[in-house]
Amino acid sequence: MAVPASALTKSGTINCTGGGALVAVYGKHQRPIDVLKLSVSGVVLFNQKGVYEKTAVSNLTGKRSWSAESISLLLNDSRGKCMPPA
């Protein structure tokens, strides 16, 4: 019996203050047939297949948690960011 694949997750916190900067999360994975899930402060902003990479922008500012999750997530390329950059 095959063991089901488990998703890779990268998460952290980012502080987006000043200039109207909003908290966003950028995720990149290897296979668009896999689901890419992007969240900020526990709110799922994107949870779909069909893309290699995606930036999901929240309506939140300040210090927030973020996460990117996929079976084929590229850990070095996925990150929290400020939009526009603070």
pLDDT for 85 equals 65
Residue 86 lies in a domain: no
Residue 74 backbone phi and psi in degrees, to 5: -90, 100
Q: How sure is the predictor about 1, in pLDDT bands with cuts at 50, 70 and 90? A: low
Residue 60 lies in a domain: yes
pLDDT for 6 equals 81
Contacts with 4 (C-beta within 8 Å, 6 or more apart), sequence order: none
Token output for 47: 């949870």
**Number of structural domains found in the chain:** 1
Residue 2 lies in a domain: no
Q: Residue 15 belongs to what domain range?
A: 8-79
Residue 63 lies in a domain: yes
30-65 pLDDT tens trace: 999 999 999 999 999 999 999 999 999 999 999 999
Contacts with 3 (C-beta within 8 Å, 6 or more apart), sequence order: none
Residue 46 lies in a domain: yes
Residue 14 lies in a domain: yes
**Nearest Cα to Cα of residue 45 among 37, 12, 61, 4:** 37
